[in-house]
Amino acid sequence: MDYRSTEAFARDIEAAALRAQGLRQEAITAFWQALGAGIRAAWAALLRRLVRAPRTDTLFPEA
């Protein structure tokens, strides 16, 4: 008897396919969330660098 033709095997294969689909969706979601977090962090760092208070040591004193 070929075990691959049993209903139990078919159920196991179907369950594995459903788990794989769920895991794939979780991985895609985690990827986009991590990418978004990285972009937000880079944007915040750029804004902090551009918007910070001007340095007083670069100004020339008045005579």
Residue 55: pLDDT band with limits 50, 70, 90: low
pTM of the model: 0.63
Tell me the pLDDT tens digit for each residue of 4-49.
Answer: 678 888 899 999 999 999 999 999 999 999 999 999 999 999 999 8
pLDDT on residue 51: 86
pLDDT on residue 60: 66
Transcribe the chain into DSSP letters: --GGGSHHHHHHHHHHHHHHHHHHHHHHHHHHHHHHHHHHHHHHHHHHHHHSPPPGGGSPPP-
